[in-house]
Homo-oligomer: A and B are copies of this chain.
Amino acid sequence: MKKKVIKFGGTSVGSIERIMHAAKIIQEESNKGNKLIVVVSAMAGKTSELISMSKQISNKFVKRELDVLLSTGEQVSCALISGALNELGIKAQSFMNWQIPILTDGDHNNSRIINMNTTKINDYITNGGVAIVPGYQGISKLGEVTTIGRGGSDATAVAIAKIFDTDSCEIYTDVDGVYSTDPNKIPVAKKIDKISYEEMLELSSLGAKVMQSSAVQTAMIYEIPLQVRSTFTDRPGTKIFSKNNLDYTKAVTGVAYSKDEAKITLQDVEDKPGIAAEIFEPLGKNQINIDMVIQNVSSDGKTTDITFTVKRDDLDKSLNILKKNKQIRYKNLSFKSNVSKISIVGAGMVTTPGITYKMFRALAEEKINILAISTSEIKISVIIEEKFTVEAAKKLHSIFNLD
């Protein structure tokens, strides 16, 4: 008998038929004698529909009421799942954000879960009931409805796993796990059976949209074992652990890429303390996310070249801000849109020599020019021209024995 969190994503509860199917998965888990807390997302498309309604009223729809509006999506799923379980003869009950309560901190539309009262739900599941909890939401200390950012139902599941000290946290979704690269574009992609939090984080933040990054981060901090699996097959999915619990037979676990990047280079910037802050502060204040940053000091030590990437949509805005800022002295500002970032990720990389060299040579063999490089302990990212993205991913996937 285990205490489990099971989370169903939007597509897994996207129709009445799918809700009945999810209820049957819960029924099987319950019949094994497990104590279950089920977290549900809004039905697929529901949140977008509600957002679209709000936008028809105002592009700056008041944030407090947006939270009241959007939180209804998961409430509907909760009631339907609970109703379906009761129909199957399973004792089940929905618990709304204010009934538990799920306490949050931070701004409307962007809060985070800080605590939950465990009494009611622990009583309920100890007495054989299945507790159904809405993802993505909570209430603030002032008793206001708050939501925790899109995809936040993953974060709710992980927070429950942590606060209720459950044995596991299973994320049911519409893919059957984490893949070594994008299976839609590169058919030789393979499902990964086991992966570390760190690798998963790199893969998810680099474009493999299986699980929300901040939820993986929380799981990593508290060492909560995760399992990502498909609602629609019986296959075991991908297990996500701490690095220490994994054997590394492969140096590289996966190849991730993100298109829609743009690269900006400032040449011969006066090299003085605080210059990076001077460049990036005004960009940050204008909600522009900076991704890779590479800085080369010039041979005379007096000037430096700074290259960084932004989302392509932010390119024009970024260039305007840089040009307006007269405090930054540089010789030349150049940019390149239509670039993409491609990364190899692997926790075993640090102990395997020659990975960097192997990657660069493989790209050279394909005559793909590398425009910028950034490395960390468990990944190597390069910027290349966008048109080579899939070709490069295929090549890397192959040479690192992932096919």
**What is the interface of chain A, defined by CB distance below 8 A to chain B?**
16, 19-20, 50, 53-54, 56-58, 60-62, 64-66, 68-69, 71-72, 75-76, 78-80, 82-84, 86-87, 93-94, 96, 98-99, 143, 145
Given the interface pairs A16-B53, A20-B57, A72-B75, the reply to whether A64 lies near B93 with Cβ below 8 Å is yes
Q: Say how far A87's CB is from chain B's closest CB, in angstroms.
A: 4
The answer to whether residues A80 and B69 also contact, given A61-B87, A86-B62, A145-B96 and a CB cut-off of 8 A, is yes
Contact B69 A86 (CB under 8 A): no
Q: A20-B57, A61-B83, A96-B98 are in contact. List 19 more A-B contacts (CB 8 A).
A: A16-B56, A54-B79, A54-B80, A58-B84, A58-B87, A61-B87, A65-B79, A65-B83, A65-B86, A65-B93, A65-B94, A68-B75, A68-B78, A68-B82, A68-B94, A69-B76, A72-B75, A96-B145, A99-B143
Some 21 contacts from A to B, beta carbons below 8 A apart, are A16-B56, A16-B57, A54-B79, A54-B80, A57-B80, A57-B87, A58-B83, A58-B86, A61-B83, A62-B83, A62-B86, A62-B87, A64-B93, A65-B82, A65-B83, A66-B79, A68-B78, A68-B82, A69-B76, A69-B80, A96-B98
Smallest CB-CB A-B distances: 8 pairs: A69-B79, A68-B79, A72-B72, A58-B87, A62-B86, A65-B79, A16-B56, A65-B83
Most buried by B among A65, A71, A96: A65
Q: Which residues of B contact A86 (CB under 8 A)?
A: 58, 61-62, 65
Q: How many Å lie between the Cα of A72 and that of B42 in the bound state?
A: 12
Interface of A is mostly: helix
Also in contact, A53 and B68, with CB within 8 A (given A58-B87, A86-B62, A143-B99) = no
- List chain B residues, Cβ under 8 A from A57: 16, 19-20, 80, 83-84, 87
- How many angstroms from the CA of A87 to the CA of B55 in the assembled complex? 11
Residues of B with C-beta under 8 A to A94: 65, 68
Give the distance in Å from the alpha carbon of A62 to the alpha carbon of B83 in the complex.
6
Closest residue on chain B to residue A43 by CB atoms: B53
Provide the residues of chain B in CB contact with A20, threshold 8 Å. 57
Chain B neighbourhood of A61, CB < 8 A: 83, 86-87
Residues of B within 8 A of A50 (CB): 76
